[in-house]
Amino acid sequence: MKKLSALKPGTRAIIQKIEDPESHLKLMEMGCLPGEEVVVYRIAPLGDPLSIRVSGYNLSLRKEEAEAVWVEEQ
């Protein structure tokens, strides 16, 4: 498993778990649920934020939020 923040643009992965209890509910409300497919589209030049596609829509995450999401690459 890897952190979402470590993936390169164009990578597909399945969300396995969210480890940060503070952002857990916020991320789940935005569609980042365990078992959901996520695709990394873009990463800003300095690595923050990340643009991803999850649950049928585009979402921007801060790097610190993406580091709390563990995924398994496909």
- Alpha-carbon gap, residue 63 to 40, rounded angstroms: 12
What predicted TM-score, i.e. pTM, was given to this entire model? 0.86
pLDDT tens digits, one per residue of 44-53:
988 789 999 9
Which residues are registered as beta bridge partners of 60? 51
CATH class (in words) of the domain with range 2-73:
mainly beta
d(CA 52, CA 50): 6
Phi-psi region of 41 (alpha: psi -120 to 50; beta: other; left: phi over 0): alpha
Q: pLDDT per residue over 2-52, tens digit each? A: 999 999 999 999 999 998 888 888 888 888 889 999 999 999 988 789 999
